[in-house]
Amino acid sequence: MVASATPSDVHASSPVIERPGSDLPVTISSSEFCTALTNLTTAVSVIATNGPAGLAGLTCSAVCGVSATPATMVACVNRRSAAHDVITRNDVFCINCLPAARKDLSDLFAGVGRVPMAERFAADQWTVLATGAPCAKDALAAFDCKLADVREIGTHSVLIGYVVATTQNNRAEPLVFQRQQYATTRLL
């Protein structure tokens, strides 16, 4: 159960703008949102695809499970990303959750060094599962998905995928991102 925000829960600098016929505020400013978002700790993944539209991938931190029945994942991808249209046309994608040791792979698929897309997929580091989308051999977990739906919200598309295969590596720590820095987790 999620509690709804009361006016005292709203950031003091955020004016509450009411929508006609609604008790919910329209939104906060994008700068306030982005500043607050830096405090959100997220897992780092590379979303990869291959098919008739080509081979592509991108680094993504907006990924989560949706449902166990049917097994479903969601990823939010900026529509300006070169990989966005390739993923939606191929109709398949693999979410590769990165281990802490693979900051280099995150940077590579974030465009650091401007390495051509095909060169980012070194043959010795990738395999495929059921869909043919690239699966990182050392992924902490990989979710091979068939695209089920695409919803456009603001600058991004919410990609909803049915999981058709997985692989796991329980021996590594996860790569996470918070306050514009890479980190990992430790058990308390």
Would you say residue 76 lies in a domain?
Answer: yes
Would you say residue 32 lies in a domain?
Answer: no
Would you say residue 12 lies in a domain?
Answer: no
pTM to 2 decimal places: 0.83
End-to-end CA distance of the chain: 26
The domain total for the chain is 1
Could you give the C-alpha distances from 171 to 6, 95, 122, 143, in angstroms and in order? 43, 18, 23, 17
What pLDDT score does 177 carry? 84
Would you say residue 95 lies in a domain?
Answer: yes
Would you say residue 5 lies in a domain?
Answer: no
Would you say residue 27 lies in a domain?
Answer: no
Give residue-wise pLDDT tens across range 110-165.
Answer: 999 999 999 999 878 999 999 999 999 999 999 999 999 999 998 999 999 999 99
Structural domain that includes position 122: 44-178
- What is the domain-level CATH number for residue 103? 2.30.110.10
